[in-house]
Amino acid sequence: MSDALALTLGNVDWVKDNERKLQRIFPEIWTHPGNINPLKLLFDLKLAGVDYRTDDEAAWALAFLTKVGICQVQPGTLCMRRNPHSIFPKDM
């Protein structure tokens, strides 16, 4: 992981402060990946402040956002959408 990713996605406080920006990268309703423009998705990731440097880092960042629950993937169909709820507990 590059230093830039460590300072953004690797930092819980940064993710918490930018959670809504990260959620808005993904579609609001269940959408098949074939209907999502990958260049726009990656550009929006950059606009949100995630400064990936390589294709591998971009893929890692998207996998991370899915793993932590900012992006939801529907099993079987691979359709994706943003998580409408915060991934952080209320008392955090």
pLDDT digits (tens, 9 = 90+) for 4-35: 788 999 999 999 999 999 999 999 999 999 99
Domain ranges of the chain: 3-72
The whole-number average pLDDT for the span 52-78 is 94
DSSP per-residue string spanning 65-91: HHHTTSEEE-TTT--EEE-SS-SS-TT
User: Quick check: 8 and 50 in contact, CB under 8 A?
Assistant: yes
pLDDT digits (tens, 9 = 90+) for 28-55: 999 999 999 999 999 999 999 999 999 9
Distance (Å, whole) CA 57 – CA 50: 10
Q: What is the pLDDT of residue 92?
A: 55
Distance (Å, whole) CA 1 – CA 41: 20
pTM: 0.88
